[in-house]
Every structure is written in structure tokens, then in C-alpha cells.
Amino acid sequence: MEMTAEQAKKRSSILPMIIVAMLFFVLGFATWLNGSLMPYLKQMLLLTPFQASLVLFSFYIAVTFTALPSAWLIRKVGYKNGMALGMATMMLAGLLYIPAAQTQTFALFLLAQLVIGTGQTLLQTAVNPYVVKIGPEETAAVRISIMGILNKTAGVVAPIVFTALIASSFVAPVGTELSAEQIDAMAASLVLPYLGLAAFLGLLALAVKFSPLPELEKESAEGNKAGQIKAALARPSLALGVLALFVYVAVEVIAGDTIGLFALSLGVERYTVMTSYTMGCMVLGYILGIVLIPRVLSQQAALAVSAVLGVALTLAIVLGDTSSYVIANTLLVPFGGTALPDTLLLIAVLGLANAIVWPAVWPLALSGLGSLTSIGSALLIMGIAGGAFGPLFWGLASSSALGQQGAYIVMLPCYLFILFYALKGHKLTSWR
């Protein structure tokens, strides 16, 4: 029996989706290493919470400067070559961590973070539209959710791998003053793992370059870029979508990457693995999204529920008792888990609230853009810059009378804006 055109199209998209899925896993692995690296560098280099937040700032701020150039580059070289170049840039960044560790120079670590953020931006700008365009638009949210599961699963794995390969080789009680020898040991343990990461990224870049991944149709590079940006931003659903992703990534990174710092301040020994808890909750959220949307909840309703849950959890974290272990004693300890403070676990549960936001906003914001899709995608990718400013504001607030726990209040206005976008913002068709 001959295949129908629809069956042939579905079969032809399987291999590209497998390759793209691998890239999403790598993106997640490299991104969520930050949650372990930041508190590790804080302890190793004796950083303040604000200085430690610069580790995230330098990674995510690269988006602000490179998202639009990435869109221009992709129009020149194509989506496939853009992915390969993004991986190659990340490989170079992996090599930069080696002299940073050997010299224990904080500025070099920040430079390495900036370069790997640049590579991530190029890769993200190419791979996200690929997922949207490689199948029907009406099922784009489902495909993005599946990719999100892989991305966040990598976020579960990355801290565990980091702890096994790096943190486990260093033994010293949390909160004690480190000797020069202990600091040297912490720094030395970073070298081989990052060398291995760089080698893997380089091989993957070559694999993508010479893979049978089909090229999407290039969009016209003609016309004034400023004019295209203006035309794209004239659509409120896109402009507000960019802002929604900005505040979303801010809270996602706060929940995923500051949890280790907060755990360190509470004296939790295995602080480098805490990001895995947040990412585990995000994976659960993605799975629930695939099961419930649109069977039980519409995409917009799920986005609103996520925002409301984020507001409730933020207030519970800020007002919670760090000496209470009720959640862990009920859900973790009876099954052999670790006893952790309720406030710490509530930060992890924010992963559940955050999971649906990214896959819901993308198709809503890109809907109907046509030839402006790559510019719209680049503008949405710029929303990832929220990951630079969210932890930075949290770090600044941590240095105030609020302390690290009270500093989580900076997430409240972010979730309120996401709620606005879910209820009204995505429906707007004109600024008038």
C-alpha cells in the first residue's frame, strides 16, 4: 500500500526531530550546569551572592547582543549551518573554562559564560523555529513541550553529573573557611570535565553539519532590518510575548539556578544537586501539559493556571519557615529521600509552575507572522535575557535587609505579567 502525502510528510520529519531533540538535550545540559557551577564558584572564589549572580548574568546577557545578529546570520547560512556554528561556539567556550579554572580568575569564568551564552543564542534562534515549522502549526505547542521535556531532563542530569565528576572530588564542610589547598583542589576538578564537554560539543557540531537534516526555506534578507523589527513589534501579541518570555526566563532561572545558593546558605551539603529538584518538577509539568492540553485545559487556561501557581508559591517561599521540614518528612524521607527545608522544596516546585509558559507563549506570539517569523523568533529569543536580570535583581535584594529568602519576592510581578498575557495580552491585535 502506498503512503499518503500526510504519512510521507510525517515519516520524513522523524529523523529531523530526533536530531533536534538531541540538540535540545545538549542545550539543557549546558544551560542548567549553571545551577551547580554558580554556588560551586561562590564557595571556591569566596563570592558574595551578588557576585555569584554575575555568573548567570554573563551567560544570559549574551542574548541581548547576539539574538538579532543570529537571525541575520541564519538568513545568510541557513538554519542547519546556524545550528552547527552555535555548537562550535559553545565548544570554544568549553575550552575557556580550563584557563579560568587553572588561574582561578573570576573574570575568565565570566568571559567563558558570555561566549557559551552566545553559542546558545545562535543555536536557540535556529532550533526553535525548526520545531515550530517542521510540522503543523496547531500542534507546535506539543512538539515544543516534548523538546522541553528533553531540555529539562538534561537539567535533572547535569547537576547530578556535575556533582559526580566535580563536586564529589572535593570534601569540606559547608560554611567552613577553605584552605589554599582545598581551593586548588576545587579548581583542578573543573579542568577535565570541561575539556570533555568541549570535545563532545565539537563532535556534535560536525555531526549536525554533515547530517541529513533538511534545510528550511530561507526567508528573504531583503529590506531594512529596522523596518522588519518595527513591523514585527507592531503586533502586540509578539511584543508582549517577548516581555512575557523575559519575565518567565527571569523566574525560571531564579528557581533553577539560585536554589543551590540558597541551599548553601542553609547549610545543605549537596547544594550542587539542588537544580535537579527544580528541573524534575519542570519535567513533570511538561508531561502534565502534554496530557491535559487541550483535552482538559486550553493552552491559554494552562498558562493562566501556571501564573496563579507561581504567585502562590512565591508568597509561600517568602513567608515560609526555613526550619520546617513537613514536605520532606511527608514525601521524601519515608522513601529514602533527603530531609530538606520546606522553603527550599517550594522553590523546586516553581518548576511545575514554569513548565507550560515557554511552549504556550511561542506559538501564540509567532502566530500569523509569515515572512517576519525569523525576526519574531529572534525577538522572542531576546526574552532569554531575563535570565540575566532576574538573578541579578535577586542577588541585589539578597544583599539588602530582605536576605536570600525575602529576595524571592522579585518573582511576584513577573508571574502577574504572565497572568496578564494569558488572559488578555495574547489576544491584542492593535496597540490602539
Position 218 scores a pLDDT of: 59
Position 262 scores a pLDDT of: 93
**Residue 108's closest CA among 31, 41, 196?**
41
pLDDT band at residue 173 using 50, 70 and 90 as cut-offs: low
Q: Return d(Cα 414, Cα 411) in angstroms, integer.
A: 5
Peptide bond into 49 cis (omega under 30): no
Question: Grid coordinates in use for 202?
Answer: 565539537
pLDDT one-digit tens code per residue, 202-255: 998 998 888 777 666 655 555 556 677 887 788 888 889 999 999 999 999 999
Which of 5-9, 35-39, 217-221, 412-416 shows the lowest per-residue confidence on average (mean pLDDT)?
5-9
pLDDT one-digit tens code per residue, 114-162: 999 999 889 888 887 777 776 666 666 667 777 878 887 888 898 888 8
pTM for the full model?
A: 0.79
Higher confidence at residue 370 or residue 318? 318
Higher confidence at residue 295 or residue 188? 188
Nearest 5°: CA angle at 199, between 198 and 204? 95
Position 427 scores a pLDDT of: 81
Mean pLDDT within 363-382:
76
Position 69 scores a pLDDT of: 87
Position 308 scores a pLDDT of: 96
Average pLDDT, the chain: 84
Q: What domains sit in the chain, N to C, each tagged with a CATH number?
A: 10-214+225-426 (1.20.1250.20)
Position 100 scores a pLDDT of: 94
DSSP 215: P
pLDDT of 329 higher than 80: yes
Position 175 scores a pLDDT of: 62
Higher confidence at residue 391 or residue 130? 391
Position 12 scores a pLDDT of: 53
Top-confidence range, 131-145, 173-187, 189-203 = 189-203
pLDDT one-digit tens code per residue, 56-98: 899 988 877 887 788 888 888 888 889 999 999 999 999 999 9
Position 98 scores a pLDDT of: 94
Give 100's Cβ-side CA count (13 Å radius): 22
Position 8 scores a pLDDT of: 42
**Residue 120's closest CA among 94, 145, 141?**
94
Higher confidence at residue 137 or residue 258? 258
Q: Return d(Cα 300, Cα 292) in angstroms, integer.
A: 12
Question: Grid coordinates in use for 238?
Answer: 509578539
Mean pLDDT within 319-340:
91
Mean pLDDT within 382-393:
88
pLDDT band at residue 4 using 50, 70 and 90 as cut-offs: very low
